Structure 1
């Protein structure tokens, strides 16, 4: 069953502008914050996309932290810190929740996934039963390839009827695995899940009827897959690869 406007877990996000005295310092100096406007989440999947430095991960981190997740990822029960580097943006955002609550939740962050896997190993050394790793498929995440361990989380740990925040989930996935993740997203959506995803992958952001929010130097705008910079760049590359490579290599030779 799909969530809809009446049953979705997260409704919207806005700025607490009354708490902001200056936009000069990070993270308030990010274009997405300086030009922020209220964002209504799609009941099923919302993509936050944009070039590096536009604030995608910082925004997702703020959403996750404000909801009670560990900044480095995991479920609401994880409480560890390898390096305290998260911003204080969560102090300046206001999230509107729906009337229904998810039965499962998870914040996946590619950047700190290794730290999460290590924390699971340390917690399971205590001999508790069931082991935490059992909910990730039972095999140590450190004993799998990077991509396999990512996918084990998506397949085993995300159990449905949940709220899932995924920051660059494609980071270790081959194109084939990215398509498999797209199929997994479809399964989760049809099991009453809502997802908020930051990605650079046109494959991942191809879910039908999803909301795509593109971050640029001018702020944020809703767009379609075909109009994203990511899609246009890949389309240009594959349709006229020789010309594009000639231009790229010519620029490199000038340096």
Structure 2
């Protein structure tokens, strides 16, 4: 891990290159990263605020969009990481560098795409008459914790996918289930009395979303207990992912 700092330039270059390649043959190019959440918010605002109005959650359109953007970062980062090693066999076989660079750059690419989506989110906060308060200065810190959590998962599944290609299909199912088990389109307060709802409070992504919504939408500081919990879980995820990656990495060249 210590020598990764020496490759920071490579990580940055690969992340930026991957971002450009995603929109290389597109007429609008990187503008799609702005249009996608913009169009998504338009549809969701019409459906959930007009037809299926949800009055139990304040600022519901923003609540919903922030949850989707936050979950979208995890979805993009993990799925891009799954192919970050198996998708570059020539690079893995012929050039020596820490293979972690491939996963980290994939997560950074996803983070840059998400940053553009947050620009759109900020614009719509203004449209809906909601200006950021001082609690918004904690937003980068919460995103940093999410990045650590997602990176840990990405390292684990990316390395496992080299040996067991079924991982990519299993992960797709996990993400689909996770979407509905995470308070993205609903709040946990709406599920009072539902069996096992207390277990959902320990969903790391749910805790992160609660923090993001608090500091950006509801002018609320994160609860100390939640901060301690999510930092611990994120560091554990990173440590576990790194251990799995380190154990499988020596055979990557043979198996890609």
Instruction: Bin the TM-score by the shorter chain.
Output: under 0.3
Q: Which has the higher helix share?
A: 2
Question: TM-score when scaled to structure 1?
Answer: 0.25
Structure holding more strand per residue: 1
Q: TM-score, normalised by structure 2?
A: 0.25
